[in-house]
Amino acid sequence: MTGIPALTLNDGHALPQVGYGTWPMSDAEAGPAVAEALRAGYRLIDTAAAYGNEAGVGRGIRASGVPREDVVITTKLRGPDHGYDSALRAFDASAKRLGVDHVDLYLIHWPLPMKDLYVDSWRAFVRLKEEGRVRSIGVSNFQPAHIERLERETGVLPAANQVELHPDFSQAALRAWHAQKGIAIESWSPLGRGGLLHDPVLERLAAKHGRTVAQVVLRWHVQLGLVTIPKSQNPARIRQNLALFDFALDADDLAAIAALDGEHRQGGHPDTWIE
Q: Which is nearer to ligand A2P, 94 or 232 (CB)?
A: 232
Hey, which residues does 185 pair with through a beta bridge? 161
**String marking each residue 170-189 x if it binds ligand A2P according to CB under 6 A:** -------------------x
Could you say which of 59, 76, 146, 231 contacts ligand A2P (CB under 6 A)?
231
Closest Cα to residue 44, out of 67, 19, 15, 62? 19
- Angle, helices 118-130 vs 144-154, to 10°: value is 60
| Torsion, CA 42, CA 46, CA 145, CA 167, rounded to 10 | 60
Q: How far apart are CA 43 and CA 39, in angstroms?
A: 9
Q: In whole angstroms, how far apart are CA 109 and each of 219, 223, 269?
A: 25, 25, 13
Could you say which of 41, 58, 83, 230 contacts ligand A2P (CB under 6 A)?
230
From the list 9-17, 48-56, 81-89, 229-237, the region that binds ligand A2P by CB under 6 A is 229-237
Q: In whole angstroms, how far apart are CA 74 and each of 20, 95, 161, 173, 210?
A: 10, 11, 12, 26, 33
**String marking each residue 196-225 x if it binds ligand A2P according to CB under 6 A:** -x--------------x-x-----------
Q: Which is nearer to ligand A2P, 112 or 202 (CB)?
A: 202
Q: How far apart are CA 223 and CA 217, in angstroms?
A: 10
**Site for ligand A2P contains 17 (CB under 6 A):** no
In sign, the C-alpha dihedral spanning 9, 273, 52, 197 is: negative
Query: Nearest approach, Cβ of 165 to ligand A2P (angstroms)?
Result: 10
- In the region spanning residues 19 to 38, those forming contacts with ligand A2P, defined by CB under 6 A, are 21
Query: Nearest approach, Cβ of 13 to ligand A2P (angstroms)?
Result: 24
Please name the amino acid found at residue 114. Answer: M
Per the residue annotation, which of 42, 51, 106, 118 is the catalytic one? 51
Query: Nearest approach, Cβ of 190 to ligand A2P (angstroms)?
Result: 5
**Site for ligand A2P contains 243 (CB under 6 A):** no
20 is catalytic: no
| Torsion, CA 101, CA 105, CA 106, CA 107, rounded to 10 | -170
Query: Nearest approach, Cβ of 232 to ligand A2P (angstroms)?
Result: 3
Q: Which is nearer to ligand A2P, 149 or 193 (CB)?
A: 193
Closest Cα to residue 27, out of 5, 43, 48? 48
Give the catalytic positions in this structure: 51
Chain residues in the site for ligand A2P (CB under 6 A):
21, 189-194, 197, 212, 214, 230-234, 237, 240-241
